[in-house]
Structures are given as C-alpha cells and as structure tokens.
Amino acid sequence: MNPTLAIHGGAGTMPPGSMDPAAYRAGLHRALMAGHKILAADGPAIEAVTAAVVALEDDPLFNAGRGAVFTRDGQHEMDAAVMDGATLGIGAVAGICGPRNPVLAARATMEHSPHVLLVGLGALDFLRAHGVAFAEPGYFDTPGRREALRTMLAAEASFSADLDDADRHGTVGAVALDRFGNLAAATSTGGMTGKLPGRVGDTPLAGAGTWADAACALSATGHGESFIRIAAGHELSARMRLAHEDLDTAAAAVMAALAAVGGTGGFVAIDRTGRVSLPFNTRGMYRGFVHADGAAWTGIYQEAMQAWS
Ligand code: ASP
C-alpha cells in the first residue's frame, strides 16, 4: 500500500492581493505533515485525517474551528464529520459552538455514541461528558470573519454586489489511505457567512460532503446545498463500485452533476491505490497532498499537480 493524504482548505475566487498565498501554503503544509506523521508510522487513515483537520481548525486562516465564519446573527455554528471506510463508522456534529475542535467532537460521536449525528444542547452535554475540550468564549472569533459578515449584510441592504465567495465560505477536509489499505475522510466547517441560524450544510452529512468506504474517500467544499442535492460523496463511490469508473472519471462526473445544479466548489478524493483527485470549478481551492515518502504538494489556483510516481 501507498499511504497517501490529501487535504483542502476551501474553494472560492481567492483574488490575488486579497490574501497571502505563502501563509495559506504554510498552513496546508503543517496539516499535511500532521497527518503524514501518523501514516508514516503505520497509523490508521482515520487518525491521519483527524490530525490534519485539527491542524486546519487551529489555523485561523481557514473557515473551521478558530476562524469559523459568522451566522446572520453573529454567532458560530459549526459542522464536522468523520467517516472510517474500514468499518463505515460515521460520527458527525452540526450547528455546534463550544468544542475547540469540532472534528474531535465528530470522532467522539463515532466512538462513544450509538448514533452518527448529534446536534443542539444534547450534543454539547454528550461531548462534555466524554471529555471533549471546549474553547473559552471568543476563541472562534476573528476580525476578518466579522468584517465579512458586516460586508455581506451591507451589500444585501444596498442591493449591491455580493461578498466575494472567498470571504463567504470555506471548509477544511482530508482524505487518506493507510498502510493497510483503509480509507477515511474528515471535514469541518463554519458553514457560510451570513447563513440562517440553524442551517446545516453538506459537511456533516455522510454521502454528501464527507464519505469513505472500501472504494474511495471524499471531502467536499463549496455550496453545501448543491453537494447535498447530488449526494456527492456517495455518487463518487457508486460510480466506482457499480459502474467501475476510475477515480478521475467518477470525479469528473460528480463535478458535472454539481455544475448541473448550479453548484460551485470542489473536493479532494482518494482511491484504494492512493491515487488522488482534487477537482474544483471555482477559481481556486486551497489543497495539497503528501505521498508515503513525505513529498508534499500544495496548490491554490490551477497549478498542475506533479506526476504521481
Ligand atoms: N460546504 C460548506 C457548507 O456549505 C461551505 C464551504 O465549503 O465553503 O457549509
């Protein structure tokens, strides 16, 4: 087996000049190394994707954990999911604010509850009872995200151009293949700036924005409602298992289905040979992958990926 990890940090237009590409690449690299360390020590894919997503959640540049976007009423409501392709184990949380790392809340749901998705006060009580670390008030707030909400509400009020989508959404995620041939996926998000309180996107919904089985693993970013409509994660797997499409062919078909419902975004996906596919239909998608030997690649715009072998 060829242990491999691929990650994303959100898709959008990312106008050059509005952000520091080096800082984003450094954040992606840190996350790749956090996951790679686990795979290189023959650790399981589910641990590697969790570690990579924790690193991205801790980085305020990305819309997950610290740096999550604000809802219309100025709150954070975070969604996250993990899925272990070896067991079809799933853990997810939606609309929560409290746990410092929502992906660890998703892991706790998978490992310690008989359920796959927890929301509301019950979720927070459960997570506290299982020792998941909570953040201090204000931890998730960042000035840039607050400004993004102000800009969006002002644009709406004046019927002027909408917020750039780089400020509106984003998500982080990871997929991995481990030494034993098992696949896993993890995704975490603050959702979309100015979303209605109570809105849940594709991220915590297994089969939509997060999926892993014996054929492939996928983590998505972009307009969540569209990814839910096409059941993106399950569609990728179904095409590979039932129509015997290879990863790239199936990924292209999923992107076509996304476009057909007017959706924007992209995803990272991996198959059981360690091949990765990182398609998107926005101007850019923060993304990267690392091979078994530790060689890492990161990209933001349409840079060509390096050869596989
Ligand atoms: N897919 C996420 C959501 O809809 C947002 C994003 O990835 O930009 O919640």
Residue extents of the structural domains in the chain:
4-299
Describe the crossing of helices 45-58 and 21-40 by its angle, rounded to 10 degrees. 150
Which atom of ligand 1 lies at the shortest distance from residue 199's CA? 9
CATH number for the segment(s) 4-299: 3.60.20.30
pLDDT of residue 309: 33
Residues 171, 189, 210, 282: which is the catalytic one? Answer: 171
pTM of the model: 0.95
Residue of 298, 285, 301 whose CA lies nearest to 219: 285
CA of 164 to the centre of ligand 1 (A): 14
Can you tell me which atom of ligand 1 is nearest the CA of 165?
8
Predicted confidence at residue 161, as pLDDT, reads 55
Q: Let me know if 171 is a catalytic residue.
A: yes
Ligand 1: residue whose CA is nearest its atom 7: 221
| Per-residue pLDDT at 14 | 82
Q: What are phi and psi of 203, to 5 degrees?
A: -55, -50
**Taking CB atoms and a 6 Å cutoff, what residues make up the pocket around ligand 1?**
10, 169-171, 189, 191-192, 201-203, 209, 221-222, 224
pLDDT reported for residue 168: 62
Cα gap 262→32, rounded to integer Å: 31
Q: Give the list of residues 6+ apart from residue 220 with CB closer than 8 angstroms, or none.
A: 171, 173, 187, 202, 203, 208, 209, 210, 227, 232, 233, 265, 266, 267
Q: Please, what's the b/e burial string for 266-284 (b: 16 or more CB within 10 A of its CB; e: otherwise)?
A: bbbbbbbebbbbbbbebbb
Helix residue ranges, H only, 113-231: 120-129, 143-157, 165-168, 224-229
Per residue of the chain (309 residues), give pLDDT as tens: 799 999 999 998 888 778 899 999 999 999 999 999 999 999 999 999 999 999 999 999 999 999 999 999 999 999 999 999 999 999 999 999 999 999 999 999 999 999 999 999 999 999 999 999 999 989 999 999 999 899 989 888 776 655 555 556 679 999 999 999 999 999 999 999 999 999 999 999 999 999 999 999 999 999 999 999 999 999 999 999 999 999 999 999 999 999 999 999 999 999 999 999 999 999 999 999 999 999 999 999 987 665 443
How far, in Å, CA of 2 to CA of 293, rounded? 9
Which atom of ligand 1 sits closest to the CA of residue 221? 7
